[in-house]
Amino acid sequence: MAIPVPEPHAVTRNADLVARSLAAVWHPCTQMKVHERLPLVPIARASGAWLEDFEGHRFVDGVSSWWVNLFGHGHPRIAAAIAEQAAALEHAMLAGFTHEPVVALSERLSAIAPGNLGHAFYASDGASATEIALKMAFHHGANRGKAGKDRFVALEGGYHGETVGALSVTDVAIFRDAYAPLLRRNFRVPFPSSHAASRATGGAECAREAAGMLARLFESEGESIAALIVEPLVQGAGGMRMYDPEYLRLARALCDRHEILLIADEIMTGFGRTGTMFACEQAGIAPDLLCLSKGITGGFLPLSCVLSTDEVYASFWDDDTARGFLHSHSYTGNPIACRAALAVLDLFEEGDVIRANRGKAARFDLIAAPLADQPGVRNLRRLGMIWAFEVETDEPRFARLAFESALADGALLRPIGNTVYFMPPYVIDDEDFATLVKAGIGIAQRWGRR
C-alpha cells in the first residue's frame, strides 16, 4: 500500500511536520513522552545565527546547533565547496585509495595542531573519534609489549560521547547510569577545581591538588593504564566547567613519566571555541592523540578526526597485518565532508577569526554583565566564545522551562541542569547576542531564587 507523503514544500504549518515527526522519528537525547506536552520545534530554514520555523518564528541559535556551527547557517562558501565536491567526487573508500580533499585536510590540520601530530585518522562523529583514540592507545601499548595497559583514566564530570567505549570514560550520570552494566570500569580522577561547577576556573592551586591525586593513581596503577583522556580547559556536557591550564601541564608531565598517552578530546573546544584554535595551546602542551569533530565542517556535515604523533603511528608500522590499526568506518574520510572542513579552515585564515573573536567577546562581556545582578545567578564566567552561569532555583523542571521561555524570547538556549550557557556561532552580532542575554535575564527573573 502506498502511503501518501506530502512533498516537502507542502509543509506550511508547524503542526503538520511535528505530528509526522512524532509518529516516525525517534529523537536523540530525549524521553519521547515529554513531547506530549513540550512541542517539538520544526525548523524550515536557517541563515547566519538564525533558525526559522514554518510560521515565521525566528530563534537566535545560542548553542550553535549543539556546538557544531561556527560561521553561521547556510554559509555560502561552505555550501559552494560542498556542491562543487559533490559534483566532482562524492565518495571513494579510503582503504587502498586516496583523494585530494582528505590529503589536503590532513596536511592542514597537522600544520595548525599543537606539537607533532602528523597522522590523521577519520570517522564521522565525535564518539567514534573517542573510540578510535581509546583503541589506538591500547593497541599502541600492546604493539610495544605492554598489553597490560588496558585501562583508561578520565576526569569526574567528563563527557566523551555515548557509544559503549566512549561512555566508559564519560561521567555524566544521566547518560551513563542506564548502561552501567555494559561499561568497562575505568579510573575516574577528581576534577581540577574544588568549586566544581562554580567559579571560573578554581585556579592553579586546585589544579595542583588534583594533579597530585592523578600522580598517586599513576604511581599505584600506571602499569595498567593506557591513556588519560581529558576535555582541555572546559568540560562541555558536564556543565561548562572550566579549569586552570596548569592541570594540563602537570598531567602532560605525569603521562610522560609513566608512559601513559594523553588524549585531548577537543571535539567541543577545538576550532577556536576557547579563544585559541585548540584549547591545549593555552597550556602550552600537545597531546599524543587529538580528537576533533563538531566545528570541523562548520556544522554542515558529520566528520571527525584523530590526529596522532609520529611515535604512536610508528608503533603500528610493521609487516604484521595485525599490528596495524584495522579500524574503519564506511564513510572514513568522505571527500565532501573534507572539502567542507577545508572551506572552514580558509574562513579562519581569511577572517583572522581567532583574533576577531577576542575583540567580539570583550564587547559581548559588557552586554552580558547585567546577568550577574539577576536573581539566583551565580558564577557568570567566560572562556573564549563560551559564556555560562548557574541559576539557583527551587524549580525542579528548570532546564525544560528555561528552554521554552527562551524560545518565547526568540532564543535557542538549552540549559544543562541549572547551568545556562551561550555558545553562539562566531558570526553573531551584538544585537543578536543581546537577544540571548535578554532571554537569560528572563529565565533568571522567572525562576532564580530571590
Which residues would be at the binding site for ligand PLP (CB under 6 A)? 125-127, 130, 159-161, 231, 236-237, 265, 267-268, 293-294
> Strands of 58-61's sheet, edge to edge?
45-47, 50-52, 58-61, 411-412
Phi, psi of 314 (to 5 degrees): -65, -30
Q: Residue 387 Cβ, how far from ligand PLP at the closest point, in Å?
A: 17
Q: Of 364, 389, 398, nearest to 440 (Cα)?
A: 389
Residue nearest ligand PLP by beta-carbon distance: 126
Residue closer to ligand PLP, measured from CB, 152 or 159: 159
Residue closer to ligand PLP, measured from CB, 159 or 191: 159
Q: Residue 19 Cβ, how far from ligand PLP at the closest point, in Å?
A: 27
d(CA 157, CA 53): 35
Q: Write the CA distances from 272 to 88, 205, 349, 364, integer angstroms.
A: 30, 26, 12, 16
d(CA 266, CA 246): 17
Q: Residue 296 Cβ, how far from ligand PLP at the closest point, in Å?
A: 10
Q: Residue 236 Cβ, how far from ligand PLP at the closest point, in Å?
A: 4
Q: Residue 448 Cβ, how far from ligand PLP at the closest point, in Å?
A: 27
d(CA 61, CA 76): 18
Q: Residue 389 Cβ, how far from ligand PLP at the closest point, in Å?
A: 19
Using CB atoms within 10 Å of the CB of residue 143, give its burial: 0 to 12 exposed, 13 to 18 middle, 19+ buried.
Answer: buried
In one letter, which amino acid is 48? G
Residue closer to ligand PLP, measured from CB, 241 or 258: 241
Asked if residues 425 and 71 have their Cβ atoms less than 8 Å apart, the reply is: yes
Residue closer to ligand PLP, measured from CB, 46 or 416: 416
d(CA 414, CA 253): 37
Q: Residue 299 Cβ, how far from ligand PLP at the closest point, in Å?
A: 12
In sequence order, the 6+-apart residues with CB closer than 8 A to the CB of 287 are 114, 115, 117, 252, 261, 262, 263, 264, 280
Q: What is the DSSP letter of 40?
A: P
Residue closer to ligand PLP, measured from CB, 61 or 432: 61
Residue closer to ligand PLP, measured from CB, 75 or 241: 241
Q: Of 388, 439, 442, 398, nearest to 418 (Cα)?
A: 398
Residue closer to ligand PLP, measured from CB, 78 or 290: 290
In sequence order, the 6+-apart residues with CB closer than 8 A to the CB of 73 are 46, 47, 48, 49, 50, 51, 61, 65, 299, 425
Asked if residues 122 and 341 have their Cβ atoms less than 8 Å apart, the reply is: no
Residue closer to ligand PLP, measured from CB, 237 or 361: 237
Q: Of 247, 263, 236, 238, nearest to 384 (Cα)?
A: 236
Q: Residue 396 Cβ, how far from ligand PLP at the closest point, in Å?
A: 26
d(CA 277, CA 274): 8
Q: Residue 58 Cβ, how far from ligand PLP at the closest point, in Å?
A: 26
The residues that bridge with 449 in the sheet, in sequence order, are none
Q: Residue 227 Cβ, how far from ligand PLP at the closest point, in Å?
A: 15
Residue closer to ligand PLP, measured from CB, 258 or 382: 382
d(CA 243, CA 234): 6
Residue closer to ligand PLP, measured from CB, 190 or 270: 270
